[in-house]
Amino acid sequence: MGAMMETKTVLNLSTIYFYITDGCNLRCRHCWITPDSAEKDMDTDAVKGAIEQAGEMGVRSIKITGGEPFLRKDIFDILRFIREKSIQVIVETNGIFIKDKEAQELRDLKVSHVSVSVDSFTAEFHDEFRGEKGSFDASVAAIKALRKADFKPQMITSICRKNAKDLRKIALFAQSIGAGSLKLNPITSMGRGEEMDKHGELLSIEEIIELEKYINTDVLPNINIPILLDIPFAFKKMSYIKKHKGRCGILGMIGLLSDGTISMCGIGSQIPELNMGNIKKDRLEDVWRNNPVLVSIRESIPDKLEGICSKCMFKRLCLGKCRAEAYHRTQSLTAPFYFCQEAFNKGIFPETRIFN
Amino acid sequence: MANSKVNKKIILREEGDEAFLFNPETGTIKTLNLTGISIWKLCDGSHSKEEIIDRVTKEYDVKSKDIAKKDLDDFLQMLEKADFISNA
């Protein structure tokens, strides 16, 4: 043939989402990961081996999540090991085990960012939603302790029909307890969220779009912390997009489950065909370079995205929002993101964001 | 000095008090504020930089022409670098 083969560049692996335990002390009604038990969690040596490999590959940041990471007795040992490799750490937790001492220890380790889940401004709603009495008080205390230790902790609120109506109160509450930002995750029909969906508890696309408008007009003018509603860029104001990138870094990230399974992200706990090996026996670098799912993602995202995503001006920024969810719904990695496609079909996708 | 002229392939989208430019070939997006929109529309190859500064300072009540000149230079440089405009 003579012609040179065109190859798609393998981007560096920059981020790992590490679902470090499958144990959890809560039973949240909406959890998409649906943690089970810590029985199959990797031991400390195996976890450190994984981090060692990440360090060798030049990984820049690891998000520690779960399950509840602080259920692990070795969590600070692990965090210290990551920091010794000069890798940044972000931690997602329900905060129940974070008191003043732990918050200070996280500060001393120069953990970059901590997010704590709190779903309401009342204990009644939160405790019922999270399945554990007293969890609200403990999580709120964690945010306060983190603030005291000089963090700007993010409060993460999972939003459904029941608490969306209280958004203004939730935002004011987040600010009052010292949260540095409020992240709103509309609950999706994955994991335990499927059951909520069956009972009509999830917000519709129209309601989520309205919520975004309400945040801009009625909530943000009255508070001093950013509110980050997790919806596709096509529905965000330009001023927001300029300030907050916040996209899924699918071309530079990988997920690592508590038993060592290497996956696209946490989705591996739900869809086994997106699992790519196990770090206890496979080299992370080999998987990153050669796994067919990852190769396919590199070849098709964003250029081969289908449906409304193919016409969207923001596809290079957005990368099709959440490919795991697209796959979960359609078994295709290039399917349009359901939210945008449904909005387009209903005539409520912003026309100014479409070309062709 | 040559006048600035927009690359015809670039799409301008206005959304109330915000706007953005989109390059369909590269997917690059640049955000614009109201002043940016006015400047973009004046980059038709027939207006000199001085004329653009005059128009913008009058339209937006800009106090200092020196500041306006520096802002305009930075803005045009950014657009030129991204291949959104060229010098006619």
pLDDT in tens, A17-49: 999 999 988 888 888 777 778 899 999 999 999
Query: Could you tell me the residue range of the domain that residue B74 belongs to?
Result: 4-87
ipTM confidence: 0.85
Q: Which residues of chain B lie closer than 8 angstroms to A241, CB-CB?
A: 31
Interface check B17 vs A, CB under 8 A: no
B-proximal residues of A, 261-320, CB under 8 Å? 302, 313-317
Mark yes or no for CB contact A316/B13 under 8 Å: no
pLDDT digits (tens, 9 = 90+) for A265-313: 888 777 888 899 999 999 999 999 999 999 999 999 999 999 999 999 9
Closest residue to B31, CB basis, from A242, A316, A350? A242
- Strand pairing report for A61-65 and A88-93: parallel
Residue A218: DSSP 8-state: I
Interface check B78 vs A, CB under 8 A: no
Closest residue to A238, CB basis, from B11, B20, B28? B20
Mark yes or no for CB contact B27/A242 under 8 Å: no
Structure tokens of A101? 């001492």
Q: What is the pLDDT of residue A9?
A: 66
Mark yes or no for CB contact B27/A313 under 8 Å: yes
Average pLDDT over residues A303-330: 94
Write the CB contacts of B64 (distance below 8 Å, at least 6 apart in sequence).
Answer: none
Q: How many domains does chain B have?
A: 1
In angstroms, rounded to a whole number, what is the distance separating the alpha carbons of residues B22 and A241? 14
In angstroms, rounded to a whole number, what is the distance separating the alpha carbons of residues A90 and A77? 15
Q: What is the pLDDT of residue A249?
A: 83
Q: What is the pLDDT of residue A5?
A: 44
Cα-to-chain-centroid distance, residue A57: 22
The nearest alpha carbon in chain B to A314 belongs to B27
Report CA dihedral (A118, A122, A127, A133) to the nearest 10 degrees. 120
Note if the bond before A302 is cis, omega within 30 degrees. yes
Q: What is the sign, positive or negative, of the torsion defined by CA atoms of A109, A110, A111, A117?
A: positive
Interface check B9 vs A, CB under 8 A: no
Q: What is the pLDDT of residue B88?
A: 61
Give A313 to chain B, closest Cα distance, Å: 7
What's the mean pLDDT when you consider all of chain B?
88
Name residue A274's amino acid: L
Structure tokens of A303? 């250029």
CATH of the domain at B15: 3.90.930.60
Sorting pLDDT into bands at 50, 70 and 90, what band is A109? very high
How many CB pairs below 8 A link A and B?
30
Q: What is the sign, positive or negative, of the torsion defined by CA atoms of B21, B27, B28, B29?
A: positive
Percent of chain B with pLDDT over 70: 98
Helix (H, G, I), strand (E, B) or coil at A16: strand
Average pLDDT over residues A222-240: 94
Half-sphere exposure of A130 (CA within 13 A, CB side): 30
